[in-house]
């Protein structure tokens, strides 16, 4: 399945889990199950927005966006993080009222069964989506998968809380669990927004990718060839590297260009999705960056 197909499936599963979790809250009147249902609404909105952004990211480069539209996926991650924050505040507000006015729970067995079924659906989908996200380096799909995993752990905590309430009669446990759920998903939301911001600010490639780039360059390094000013960045599923390749000044342009082509092809074969740009320089010439005049 492609990334878009997984996100479409995520939308469908979100609708099903909303129905199941809302039913669980309706029959039990548990504020912690209400918090679980609210998070599923965020799942639906996040999956729909992620699907839209992945569609934009897949658009080819054009005159206005010569490097493509890959960064659109970061907007999806940031949007989902903000939605999580709003949901967390709504949960805390609802749980705060219930904390000072505890209510008995009804039809606990049916409510827990509905919650467990919805969690199983989310867990299976999240596991499959995370594997696909790593395969395609999709930030939008990874964000949606991690949020679904958070939802699974949230539901597990809610179920445990309701079991405690049923066994002990401590009604205050229900709103306390809901507040704990809100704080947990708020943490996840902050993490998603931070990662989105990192991506939009041209963060360097992952350490393992940079190590692979260096290993590839080592194959071509010798007394007559050296590389410097290696700079990398990420843009959605794409990776970019820019560097200088120094060689003897007496080489012909054809020989130098042929070697550059070999290096570029080796780099792009070693790192899927990488775009390499090499600037040719004579061995005794250095390029200078960060000149104070360039910062004005």
3-200 to CATH, choices 1.10.3720.10, 2.40.50.140, 1.20.1510.10, 1.10.3080.10? 1.20.1510.10
Spell 23-41 as b/e; 16+ CB within 10 A means b: bbbbbbbbbbbbbbbbbbb
User: Where along the chain do the CATH 1.20.1510.10 domains lie?
Assistant: 3-200
User: What pLDDT was estimated at residue 295?
Assistant: 43
Q: What is the mean pLDDT of residues 104-110?
A: 75
72 vs 65: CA distance, rounded Å? 12
Convert the pLDDT of each residue in 201-228 to its tens digit. Answer: 777 888 888 999 999 999 998 878 999 8
Backbone angles phi, psi at 223, to 5 degrees: -60, -30
User: Where along the chain do the CATH 3.30.70.1350 domains lie?
Assistant: 207-295
Convert the pLDDT of each residue in 128-137 to its tens digit. Answer: 888 877 777 6
Residue 182 · residue 154 · CB < 8 Å? no
Spell 248-257 as b/e; 16+ CB within 10 A means b: eeebeeeebe
Q: Which residue has the higher pLDDT, 187 or 296?
A: 187
DSSP 202: T
Q: CATH second-level architecture of 207-295?
A: 2-Layer Sandwich (3.30)
Convert the pLDDT of each residue in 42-89 to its tens digit. Answer: 778 777 877 887 788 778 877 787 777 777 777 777 777 777 777 777
User: What pLDDT was estimated at residue 263?
Assistant: 93
Q: Nearest CA to 216 among 267, 281, 271, 150?
A: 267
Convert the pLDDT of each residue in 2-13 to its tens digit. Answer: 777 877 888 888
pLDDT exceeds cutoff 90 at 262: yes
pLDDT exceeds cutoff 70 at 292: no
Residue 148 · residue 43 · CB < 8 Å? yes
């Amino acid at each position: 399945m492609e990334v878009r197909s997984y996100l479409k499936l995520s939308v469908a599963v979100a609708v099903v889990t909303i129905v199941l979790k809302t039913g669980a809250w309706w029959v039990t009147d548990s504020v912690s199950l209400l918090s679980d249902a609210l998070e599923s609404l965020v799942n639906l909105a996040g999956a729909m927005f992620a699907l839209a952004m992945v569609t934009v990211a897949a658009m080819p480069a054009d005159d206005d966006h010569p490097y493509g539209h890959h960064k659109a996926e970061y907007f999806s991650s940031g949007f989902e993080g903000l939605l999580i924050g709003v949901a967390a505040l709504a949960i805390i507000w609802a749980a705060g009222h219930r904390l000072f006015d505890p209510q008995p729970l009804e039809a606990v067995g049916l409510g827990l069964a509905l919650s467990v079924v919805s969690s199983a659906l989310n867990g299976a989908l999240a596991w499959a989506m995370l594997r696909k996200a790593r395969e395609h380096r999709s930030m939008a799909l990874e964000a949606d998968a991690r949020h679904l995993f958070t939802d699974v752990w949230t539901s597990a905590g809610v179920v445990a809380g309701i079991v405690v309430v049923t066994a002990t009669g401590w009604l205050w446990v229900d709103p306390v669990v809901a507040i704990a759920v809100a704080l947990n998903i708020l943490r996840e939301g902050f993490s998603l927004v931070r990662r989105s911001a990192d991506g939009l600010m041209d963060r360097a490639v992952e350490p393992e990718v940079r190590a692979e780039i260096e290993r590839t360059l080592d194959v071509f390094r010798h007394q007559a060839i050296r590389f410097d000013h290696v700079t990398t960045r990420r843009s959605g599923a794409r990776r970019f590297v820019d560097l200088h390749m120094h060689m003897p000044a007496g080489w012909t342009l054809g020989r130098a260009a042929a070697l550059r082509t070999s290096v570029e092809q080796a780099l792009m074969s070693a790192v899927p999705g990488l775009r390499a740009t090499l600037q040719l320089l004579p061995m005794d010439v250095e390029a200078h960056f960060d000149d104070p005049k360039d910062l004005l």
